[in-house]
Amino acid sequence: MVLPQMVVDSVVLEGRSIRVTAQRYGVSKSWVQELVTRYRAGGAEALVPQSKRPKTNPRSMSPVMEERIIAMRKQLEDYGDDAGAETIHWHLTEAGFGPPSVASVYRLLKRRGFITPEPRKRPRASYIRFEASLPNECWQSDMTHWHFSDGTQIEILTFIDDYSRRVLACEVFWTVKGNDVRRVFARTCELYDVPASVLSDNGAIYNARSRHGRAGFESDLLERRVLYKHSTPYHPQTCGKVERWHRTLKKFLAKHPAANAVEMQAVLFEVVRYYNEVRPHRARNRQTPLHAYEGRDKMPAGTLIDQPHHRIRFDVVDVRGHVTLRYLGRLRHLNVGWPYRGQPIRLYVVDEHVTIVTEDGVLVGEIVLNPDKDYHPIDRTNAS
């Protein structure tokens, strides 16, 4: 590799011509001339290669916008809200500042040290999401633990609308009991009407399944013609929307500690107001939960009980001779049989009755789903 200083010395110090120097080092005469001109104008420092990067970029983010983004980030964090690039972009857009793209906001936060890149996670497109199609079609409920500023433990009970993510009730108790759930549910129904269904975990405050009986809350739902669904044990993802709300709630509560139950309920009131009316929700295309809830007609109680549920499923029998079907919030395994492995089939579902036929329309058998079982054998009595 020919060093620029060697070329310049050949002309300036050793007195060779530009043509001879170019032949000696196997370079062009124009390059030798350029190096000599730069040396005579600026000395040895002028021979250091200069970056070709433009000194200005008309599309770069202005220092004012950078500071505005950082200020919004700190403001959201201090309040306990989500402070990601998309949320910052949304707030600045709503304020009329015309921010750069979400990607540019993310790169700025990363460059300033506010974001630490994490390993790539499972792509969102791979998740199977279950969501109500209308407000009041399904309410989710759960209880979570928290504490006052002095460390005293408390419990918080929530009801949230599955479709809109609107928090309908959020109250603090020393210990949530079954009657507390019944009172909060009744009060919430007076405010927002009776839902078509309710989804919860298997806690004793909701149902008496483990005791082989019926809890008061279950009786209330039956009386109001509300379909009751419960999650699979040790599978909180089934109640994922209320679980995600608890994560958001605790982030707020960490920034706004309360010393007693009165203060805590006031904090909860403010958090719920902000979450429902101000904070945009990614799952609802950046609408607020309040806007999503009030923008559609509500599904009345009894809809999911009084009318049969019809659907057709197209599936392929797996290597074990099974297919899966979600029923009452749980994944059920239907034993079609080994001879049908790898074959496409159709499932005609009417409530708990499932009729299975081949792609050619030949009846394979029938299954009556049992809500207490996950694995179901097939009845081939009427099969041809």
Q: What does the alpha-carbon distance between residue 314 and residue 356 come to, in Å, rounded to a whole number?
A: 10
Q: What is the model's pLDDT at position 95?
A: 83
Return all residues near 242 (Cβ < 8 A) that are at least 6 apart.
140, 141, 142, 158, 160
Q: Count Cβ neighbours within 10 Å for each residue of 17-46 and write b for 16 or more, e otherwise.
A: ebeebbeeeeeeeeebeebbebbeeeeeee
The conformation of residue 253, written as its DSSP 8-state character, comes to: H
Q: How many whole angstroms separate alpha carbon 260 and alpha carbon 150?
A: 9
The span from the CA of 347 to the CA of 318, in Å, is 14
% of the chain with per-residue pLDDT over 70:
93
DSSP conformational letter for 285: T
Q: Which helix (H) or strand (E) holds 374?
A: none
Q: From residue 182, give the alpha-carbon distance in Å to each of 140, 200, 205, 377.
A: 14, 13, 9, 37
Residue found under tokens 């390993």: 119
Residues 338, 315: Cα–Cα separation, whole Å: 15
Helix boundaries (H) for 95-226: 102-111, 178-192, 216-223
Torsion angles phi and psi, residue 301, rounded to 5: -65, 150
Q: Which residue has the tokens 């013609």?
A: 225
Beta-strand pair 153-161/139-147 = antiparallel
Residue 251, classified by CB atoms within 10 Å of its CB into exposed (0-12), middle (13-18) or buried (19+), is middle
Mean pLDDT value of segment 173-181: 94
Task: Provide the sign of the torsion angle of the four alpha carbons 282, 287, 292, 295, taken in this order.
Answer: negative
What is the pTM (predicted TM-score) of this model?
0.62
What confidence score (pLDDT) does residue 307 get? Answer: 59
Phi, psi of 208 (to 5 degrees): -115, 35
pLDDT tens digits, residue range 244-292? 899 999 998 998 889 999 999 999 999 999 999 988 887 777 789 999 9
State pLDDT tens for residues 126-141. Answer: 555 677 889 999 999 9
At 57, list the tokens: 């970029």
**Interval 49-67: pLDDT, tens:** 777 777 777 777 888 888 8
Q: Per-residue pLDDT averaged across 285-313, rounded?
A: 82
pLDDT at 50: 76
* Helix H or strand E encompassing 22: helix 18-25
Instruction: Find the mean pLDDT for residues 297-325.
Output: 84
For 288, other C-beta atoms within 10 Å of its C-beta total 20
Query: Rounded CA gap, 98 and 106, in Å?
Result: 16
Mean pLDDT rounded to a whole number for the chain: 86
Q: What is the average pLDDT across 105-128?
A: 75
In 256-362, which ranges are continuous DSSP H helix? Answer: 261-277, 289-294, 303-306
pLDDT higher at 30 or 210: 30
- Give the DSSP H/E element, type plus range, for residue 42: helix 29-42
Q: Provide the residue type at 320 as one letter.
A: R
Question: Which fold, 139-294?
Answer: Nucleotidyltransferase; domain 5 (3.30.420)
Q: How far apart are CA 178 and CA 39, in angstroms?
A: 88
Tell me if 37 sits within 8 A of 26, measured CB to CB. Answer: no
Model confidence band, residue 120 (pLDDT cutoffs 50, 70, 90)? low
Tokens standing for residue 166 = 């609107």
- Which of the 8 DSSP states describes residue 176? -
Give Cβ neighbours of residue 261 (< 8 Å, ≥ 6 apart). 154, 172, 174
CA pair distance 370, 373, nearest whole angstrom:
5
What residue segments make up the domains of the chain, in order of their start? 4-47, 63-117, 139-294, 308-376
